[in-house]
Amino acid sequence: MMKHLARFRLGAHALRVEVGRRQGELWESRTCQRCPPVHLQSLPCQVDDEHHCIFDCAAFEHLRVSIPGVQHLIASSAGCVRSFMSGDAVVVRNYIAACMESLEA
């Protein structure tokens, strides 16, 4: 679990924002491949980055609902990644680890 959290914080993960950077893709082309196109079009930013992973990705909605404390932490952080990551350490660790495990599966 801690490995996933450390990799997320360091940017050593498989979100397209980092994968695209290593492959030389333009910022706009690093969109989320897990979300349905209709969902992506409703978002102000379609890039698959840390913010998208935590707050917007449709593929992780079930984790937001099923992991205790995540919905409250998301609501109280008001869309701010820094605020979310500074929240309850157990909730953050469990949620990010679950997202990263799902991403790597």
Q: Which residues contact 11 (CB under 8 A, 6 or more apart)?
A: 18
pLDDT at res. 2: 83
pLDDT at res. 79: 93
Q: Which residues contact 79 (CB under 8 A, 6 or more apart)?
A: 51, 55
pLDDT at res. 55: 97
3-state secondary structure at position 52: helix
Q: Report DSSP state, residue 48.
A: -
pLDDT at res. 16: 93
pLDDT at res. 27: 84
pLDDT at res. 104: 85
pTM comes to: 0.91
Radius of gyration of the chain (CA): 13
Which residues does the chain have with pLDDT short of 50?
A: none
pLDDT at res. 8: 86
Q: Which residues pair with 31 in a beta bridge?
A: 47
